[in-house]
Amino acid sequence: MSAPAVATGLGEGPTRGRWRGHLFRGLLLLSLAVGFITLGTLLVDVVQRGFAYLDGVLLTSPPSSNPEIAGARPAILATIYLGVLLIAFTVPIGVGTAIYLEEYADKTRWYNRALELNIQNLAAVPSIVYGILGLAFLVRGLGLGRVLLAGALILTLLVLPTIIIAAREAIRAVPDSIRQGAYALGATQWQVISRQVLPAAVPGIATGSILSLSRALGETAPLLLIGALQYIAFDPTILGAFTALPVQIFIWTKLPNDEFKTLAAAAIIVLLGILLTLNALAIFLRNRYQKKW
Amino acid sequence: MVTVPEAETEFVKITGVRNDALAERERRLPPPAEREVVFGVSGLTVRYGDHPALAGVDLDIYKNFVTAFIGPSGCGKSTFIRCFNRMNDLIPSAVVEGSVQYHGEDLYGATVDPVEVRKRIGMVFQKPNPFPKSIYDNVAFGPRVLGMTDSLDERVERALNQAALWDEVSGRLKESALSLSGGQQQRLCIARCLAVEPDVLLMDEPASALDPISTTRIEDLMHELKRDYTIVIVTHNMQQAARVADMTAFFSVKVSEDGRRTGVLVEYDSTPKIFTNPGDKRTEDYVTGRFG
Amino acid sequence: MATTEVIGPQPVRLRAVRRRWGEDVIKGLLALCALVSVATTVGIVIALVEPAIEFFRAIPFTDYATGTRWAPTFEPPSFGVLPLVVGTISVTLWACLVCMPFGLGAAIYLSEYARPRVRSLLKPILELLAGIPTVVYGYFALTFVTPLLRDAGLPVGVFNALAAGLVMGVMLIPTVASLSEDAMSAVPRELRDGAYALGSTKLQVSTRIVVPAAISGIVASYVLAVSRAIGETMIVAIAAGLQPNMTLNPLEAVETMTAFIAAVGQGDVPTGSTEYKTIFAVGLTLFVLTLVMNVISIRLVRKYREVYE
């Protein structure tokens, strides 16, 4: 074979097109960069500002009008209590709803489809509307008052749709062949669910619950309306007045004294630390225990 | 119709089963008068929605026999076998008409509890489906949910022995069942069924997902198990039916004017008769490979 | 049941020993759990509608909907909601100017350009953006972005719509990016392969094939982002201001619907007063707006899922 006589022109390309392609790619990378750079700047700024005030005083003292001795102890404790209550409320109700929708509900019935649609809508309702709900029913309606329990209940309702959706996915991921095998051995529906489906879905449910919890603990607006009061100098109790960490941050940020803004930054570090730990736990659980079907 | 001497040679060609083995098997079966009926099916029709997937089936399943359902795909064999342990109940749109009698009692009676049915009638599926638990817990699952928890270790060992799996796993019962090979997993699923001491074993294409060696082991297992259990199997492999089954039922597809397909029972007889002297032309066409 | 010695037909008892009422109880309990979500929706509707109706009995709806002065606590009080709505629009506008192009750009990069390993690294980091609490974003907008804008020469007030809007936009980038990326991944490979086989460049395939094919998902993500922007409270409560101000000028302070609700709701407003009821009237307005957008968004998502799955 002699060397090809035809100039294939494969070595060159239209230069204008190539530059355009590069420019486009650059713009796309820029889009990503905007988010990442902002995130990085935010974190660096907050840590830089607040690090000096991140000390035992912050963690163990109650707030005060004197920024030198002010701390966020009641707020931190309240956030922890809220977290515990949230898990106790949301997981049973959320997983229970998910089991009902996935294993028991006949999907052709209109009320079950309406139920699904309802949950999807609730997941997108602004969080402050949940605050209004709490204000109307719990604080004033039921006369519960501006207490920690009311905050926990409202955050539960806020976060429930997200947990339901995550639990449903985890349950749906369990292959049907497992259920068939268990039924064929004579297990009842609840035995199949409790002994085969749920154990297999636990990693997904746990991950989803922790991520939802993390989101709830960062919420401020509903708690404001529930009455997470401005100035709490004592440790919170479930049926007592309370202030949570995000609310404390909000309060300090709004104060004119700049030192309080620095305190706010320190408190933000604490809050982000808590959330980061939760998220890391969730990811660890997912990677370690997630079954590959 | 095919005459007998030619039929025998033909049979060997099709199935690989030797005439003397065949004659031996035929001889060991109880004569028709002494056969005990486990399932009596009459006028069985199954619909999904309004279209019948299977229509008008009449046959009897005999005790300690291996009965095979064969036929082309889409003829309703799997649908049919699932009627015997009421697994079709799990499909919301499925409607079962006609009657299935189990030891004389109506399986679909108003007061019958499907859980009780499935205690006595076990099922092995096409694709092995071990639970994501240990080998021991897989076999122990049935006894545990049914409250048969006395001497659990012995039950597990006995079931694994009957499934010819004990020697291979006795040292690693706590390991995950998913670490077993495909053939071992299927034998584990069989052991799982046997652990609850059923009466009948239903097998829906039990070896179709397995390699030839595992398939042979499963078939040998069926020969042993039929001493104690009644076995019904669905298979798309004619040769397999000829090798293991005492009675064979051939199903085919009936296409209606609007193109809808319904499964029907064409012929049901002893295996040698189906393969060497079938009464219906459709059966003959199928077993001689002219179609299907 | 079956043993190795079988003598004759066994007695068959297929009835359950006792009725399995435990199963029914469990099903009932689980259905009860599901009813919690129904109760929530009913609760929200009642909580909003009842006081709102009372409010609109006292204040004519046209005054509310078209009035340009929002001063519920003044004498005489004025209940025109437009300043709040305009404030919300002002902030939302800037948020969209950030999240829509950048979110889509990020999505295109992740879907069409990034290698799988890079993608699995970048996606979680992007999700981090969505995980930062909004009060932290508000703090950032007030203490970092506003001074930054000032240093850049813009005459912004201490509270202004621009800083809040920009930060909100960045917060919403993951919302747009993840939903758009889902939609783009659902576009079948064959469509792209066909275009590449004709000699198209990546740029052309992305912009002329993939994006149009995924358009309903992308629009859904935009609608969802707008809905979230409208409903967002903390960023605006901290950085945008608490003075109703009927202007689209981003350099000035504005009050959004959400910031108003937060401000009045946390105070000690007497129950039953008209001022108290404004919370619910504005809340209802907010709820209806976001509900409409969410329904549209869900419909659009269903549309693209149907087409490809």
Q: What ipTM is given for this predicted complex?
A: 0.89
Distance from CA of C1 to the nearest CA of B (A): 6
Q: Furthest-apart CA pair in chain C: how many Å?
A: 100
Query: Would the pLDDT of C1 be above 60?
Result: no
**CA dist B230 to A195, B123, B196, B221, C43, Å?**
29, 12, 15, 13, 59
As for how many domains chain A has, the answer is 1
Distance from CA of B202 to the nearest CA of A (A): 10
Q: Does any domain span residue C8?
A: no
**pLDDT band, very low/low/confident/very high, at A9 (cuts 50, 70, 90):** low
- Which residues are CB-contacts of A169 (< 8 A; sequence separation ≥ 6)? A204, A208
| Contact between A190 and C26 using a beta-carbon 8 Å cutoff | yes
Exposure of C111 by Cβ count < 10 A (0-12 exposed, 13-18 middle, 19+ buried)? buried
Residue A251 belongs to what domain range? 69-289
Nearest CA in chain C to B118: C14
Distance from CA of A29 to the nearest CA of C (A): 7
**CA dist B32 to A70, B27, B277, C198, Å?**
95, 12, 18, 71
Q: Does any domain span residue C73?
A: no
Residue C140 belongs to what domain range? 78-308
Instruction: Give the pLDDT score at A15.
Output: 63
For residues C188 and C54, membership in a common domain is answered with: no
CATH number at residue A228: 1.10.3720.10
Write the DSSP symbol of residue B284.
H
Q: Which chain C residues are closer than 8 Å to B63 by Cβ?
A: 6
Exposure of A147 by Cβ count < 10 A (0-12 exposed, 13-18 middle, 19+ buried)? buried
As for how many domains chain B has, the answer is 1
Query: Would the pLDDT of C266 be above 60?
Result: yes
Q: Is C9 at the interface with chain B, CB within 8 A? A: yes
- CB-nearest partner of B102 from C2, C3, C12: C12
Query: Would the pLDDT of C241 be above 70?
Result: yes
Please give the average per-residue pLDDT across B79-97, as a whole number. Answer: 90
Nearest CA in chain A to B127: A177
| Contact between B36 and C2 using a beta-carbon 8 Å cutoff | no
| Contact between A191 and B145 using a beta-carbon 8 Å cutoff | yes
Residue B53 belongs to what domain range? 4-129+198-287
Q: Does any domain span residue B64?
A: yes
| String of DSSP letters for C122-151 | HHHHHHHHHHS-HHHHHHHIIIIIHHHHHH
Exposure string of C24-45, with b = 16+ CB inside 10 Å and e = fewer, is: eebbeebbebbebbeebbebbe
Q: Does any domain span residue A178?
A: yes
- CB-nearest partner of C2 from B36, B115, B197: B197
pLDDT in tens, A104-151: 988 888 989 899 999 999 999 999 999 999 988 876 667 777 788 889
Q: Does any domain span residue B261?
A: yes
Nearest CA in chain B to C20: B113
Instruction: Give the pLDDT score at B154.
Output: 93
Range name among A225-234, B75-84, B241-250, C74-83 with the lowest pLDDT average:
A225-234
Nearest CA in chain A to B115: A186
Q: Does any domain span residue A53?
A: no
| Contact between A183 and B87 using a beta-carbon 8 Å cutoff | yes
If we measure between CA atoms, which residue out of B144, B23, C194 comes closest to residue A188?
A: B144
Exposure of B147 by Cβ count < 10 A (0-12 exposed, 13-18 middle, 19+ buried)? exposed
pLDDT in tens, B183-207: 999 999 999 999 999 999 999 999 8
Q: Does any domain span residue A280?
A: yes
Q: Is C12 at the interface with chain B, CB within 8 A? A: yes
| Contact between B199 and C2 using a beta-carbon 8 Å cutoff | yes
Query: Would the pLDDT of C120 be above 80?
Result: yes
The answer to whether B188 and B128 have CB atoms below 8 angstroms apart is: yes
Distance from CA of A151 to the nearest CA of C (A): 13
| Contact between A185 and B116 using a beta-carbon 8 Å cutoff | no
Quick one: tokens of B219? Answer: 């078939």
Instruction: Give the pLDDT score at A53.
Output: 83
Instruction: Give the pLDDT score at C261.
Output: 92
Angle (nearest 5°) at CA C72 between C67 and C75: 105
Chains sharing 3 or more CB pairs under 8 A with chain A: B, C
Q: Does any domain span residue A7?
A: no
Instruction: Classify C271 as helix, strand or coil.
Output: coil
Query: Would the pLDDT of A229 be above 80?
Result: no
Instruction: Give the pLDDT score at A146.
Output: 79
Write the DSSP symbol of residue B258.
T
If we measure between CA atoms, which residue out of C36, C292, C281 comes closest to residue A158?
A: C36
Instruction: Give the pLDDT score at C8.
Output: 36
**CA dist B80 to B41, B96, B107, Å?**
10, 10, 14
Q: Could you report how far apart the first and last alpha carbons of chain C are, in Å?
A: 47
Please give the average per-residue pLDDT across C134-161, as a whole number. Answer: 93
